[in-house]
Chains A and B, each alone.
Chain A
Amino acid sequence: MNIYTLQSALELGIIYSLLALGSFISYRTLNFPDLTVEGSYTLGAAVSVMVTLAGYPYLSLLAAFVAGAVAGSITALLSTRLKIQPLLAGILLMLGLYSINLKVMGNRANVNLINHRNIYSIFEGTIVEGFQTLITASLVLAVVLIILYFFLKTRLGFVLRATGDNHVMVRALGTNTDFTILLGLSLSNGLVALCGAMIAHEQLFADIGMGIGMVVIGLASVIIGEVLFGTNTLLRRMIAVILGAIVYRLIITIVLEFGMPATDLKLISAIIVAVALSMPVIKEKMELAGRKKANLRGGRSNAGN
């Protein structure tokens, strides 16, 4: 692995940490397994590419965020108002967004940004040109992290976080949980769409299939981050999630360096998440087996005496 692949992994990791923060909001703070992500990620990329082609690269990020937020709010309404199960609501959005994404891209399966100014070209011709993606992505991430952190520390942020923990309590304390779920899913999918947009700018195209597997990547980042870097405080947890996204990207890079064909990536991602999710159970089983063994051995020696 050379320094360039490492830098590229870091850049992608930083951009994907926006997706991870989005997953963190839906999956952890709302306890809502949200599959909308697969569609809103592509939606963000599609909207952003089209707005950029129209000549507004920076505005395109905002447009992507808003589009993602709208998608998230529809999932929330399906789930809270019409009582459709969260997973199914997400699947419906994912399916519907496929057609919408094609429409956004003018009925094309992919649209490229080659020879257009994108968000990373701001540093073109300056001394840091080689690091333009890294710097731009880090700046966006820093802004998102700061705003999100302080938001989650407001009164509104508190009830949002409590919703996933205990929605009974939130209602018993006078807040409509339908509203907090709506807010949370909008925010979450807005961030996911922003991530999709920034990836599109990085790879210089948007593709109709680019969202496949994003739910799993988001979850993997959250879980890896929490396991490796801890969940003590809110800030620590959020930073852990970001680092989780970067670690995940490094793992993928290393796997590819070992000669794994890129087409196997989705399988690897699925396996990583399956292993990470089953960690607590495996740990418990192993401890139990250890105790059982020690106990039986002790019992036998006692009997011998």
Chain B
Amino acid sequence: MLEIRSIKKVFEAGSINEKIAINNLSLTLEEGEFVTIIGDNGAGKSTLLNCIAGEYIVDEGRILLDGIDITYMPEYKSSQYIGRVFQDPLKGTAYDMTIAENLAIAYAKDKPKNLQPGIRKSDIKMFREKLSLIQLGLEDRLNQKVSLISGGQSLAMTLLMDTIVKPKLLLLDEHIAALDPKIAKKVLQLTGEIVEKEKITTMMITHNMKVALEYGSRTIMMHEGQIILDIKGEEREEMTVESLINLFGKKAKHDLENDRILLSR
């Protein structure tokens, strides 16, 4: 489904601030796979998602989605196949337009942007049904502006907007990190439900190891721009948060030792 072939991304190459954000990374995702991504700050998790989405263009390597080469595809084109939910709820909605209008824009994602009416009567019914699934009472507020609803509500709505037309790939970049715990849990549950029901291939970054193991079917750990751990199936089921942290310490330390060897030469 998604095939990442040894990609590399360097920021400010050649300068004193040169940072290798992604270093020769390869990854293959099967159809319907739900991968959770963990790793320390600066491990390259967000950069990886940004490269896939086309916001950054990789320096080396190839990215294929369902056989289509999206390596150099501009963001607005690849986004026809990819759904993205950002951490900042404001990034996912047009706040000065109504809830219905926002959903309509999302629903028209794979349709030509022509002079057809933006919203039809039949759309309204469908929007209402979809909104009632997330149980936030938004189905009765279709004609209110998004600026009037809370951050959690608008994030849940973004999730709905990104899946209303089934994407080939869904990218979630710590999408619940800015929410209060109660709403965060709800949005996370909702994420699990939608992804499972629609069988969407998904990549989700999280800082919470428990969440990383609880949700999805596969977990990868990143460190210094590389994947240092990739678990699924039985191995993953037996994994606890503690053993994961231990493993991370070991793997990351291993790298540290490598660095030392390099430096001492």
Contact = CB atoms under 8 A, between A and B. Distances in A.
Interface of A: 151, 153-159, 161-162, 164-166, 168-177
**Leading 7 A-B pairs by shortest Cβ distance:** A165-B94, A162-B94, A158-B118, A174-B80, A171-B76, A176-B76, A154-B115
B75 A153 contact: no
A169 B91 contact: yes
Interface string B102-129: 1011101111111111110000000000
A154 B117 contact: yes
Given A169-B92, A169-B93, A176-B74, A159 B113 contact: yes
Contacts of A176: 74, 76-77
Interface in B42-95: 53, 74-77, 79-80, 83-84, 86, 90-95
A166 B95 contact: yes
A153 B79 CA distance: 23
B96 interface: yes
A295 to B, nearest CB: 28
B106 A156 contact: no
A169 B93 CA distance: 6
Q: Interface residue tally of chain B, by bracket?
A: 35 or more
Contacts of A151: 115
Nearest to A31: B96
Given A156-B114, A174-B80, A176-B76, A166 B108 contact: no
Contact of A175 (B102, B113, B162): B113
Contacts of B213: none
Nearest to B102: A162
B113 A173 contact: no
Nearest to B105: A158
A176 B73 CA distance: 12
B203 to A, nearest CB: 15
B109 to A, nearest CB: 5
Q: Is the interface of B mostly helix, strand, loop or mixed?
A: loop
Contact of B118 (A153, A169, A170): A153
Contact of A161 (B76, B86, B97, B117): B97
B35 interface: no
Contacts of A177: 76
B101 A158 contact: yes
A19 B95 CA distance: 25
A133 B92 CA distance: 46
Most buried by A among B102, B111, B118: B118
A156 B111 CA distance: 11
A172 B113 contact: no
Contact of B93 (A154, A164, A166, A171): A166
B93 A174 contact: no
Contact of A165 (B74, B83, B97, B108): B97
A172 B118 contact: no
A154 B114 contact: yes
B209 to A, nearest CB: 28
A166 B84 contact: no
B91 A168 contact: yes
Contact of B113 (A155, A164, A165, A166): A155
B95 A155 contact: no
A156 B117 contact: no
Contacts of B112: 155
Nearest to B112: A155
A155 B114 contact: yes
Contacts of A159: 105, 108, 113
7 contacts: A151-B115, A161-B101, A166-B94, A169-B92, A173-B106, A175-B76, A176-B74
B117 A165 contact: no
B161 interface: yes
Nearest to B91: A168
B79 A174 contact: yes
A171 B79 contact: yes
Contact of A158 (B92, B108, B161): B108
Most buried by A among B80, B86, B96, B106: B96
Most buried by B among A151, A162, A170: A162
